[in-house]
Amino acid sequence: MPSYKGHRYLAEIINHCVWLYFRFPLSFREVEEIMLERGVVVSYETIRRWCAKFGQTYANQLRRRRAQPGDKWHLDEVFIRINGRQHYLWRAVDQHGTVLDVLVQSRRNGNAANRYFRRLLKGLH
């Protein structure tokens, strides 16, 4: 557990700010605004320092809580249009229906997508 000794704010406030930043795609200023709405006045620079100091610990905890992918997976292929041009969206989905990763290609190449996901998933097991 990280030490909060010498910090002006309570450990719960620090935990919540760091959790907000790493759990959701928020900027430091957005976290500052959320905390201001809750009645806690803290600057974005302070939140940045907390995230630099305690962030790795929280990122590791979030990564550990994430569901592990299943043993079996398959590729889903979807045709999408981006700026009027057809692209190919490949998704790696495990047997539980969890999307493991997504790949978008401008040219259809199933073998390259399969190699990409095999290499990616090798590191997860």
pLDDT tens sequence across 77-124? 889 999 999 999 988 888 888 887 888 999 888 888 888 888 877 766
Name the pTM for this structure: 0.53
Cα separation, 113 vs 92, whole angstroms? 9
Q: Which two tokens stand for residue 32?
A: 């500052």
- Give the whole-number percent of the chain exceeding pLDDT 70: 93
- Give the whole-number percent of the chain exceeding pLDDT 90: 40
Angle, CA of 11, 67 and 65, to the nearest 5°: 15
For residue 38, is pLDDT > 90? yes
Q: Is the model more confident about 64 or about 12?
A: 12
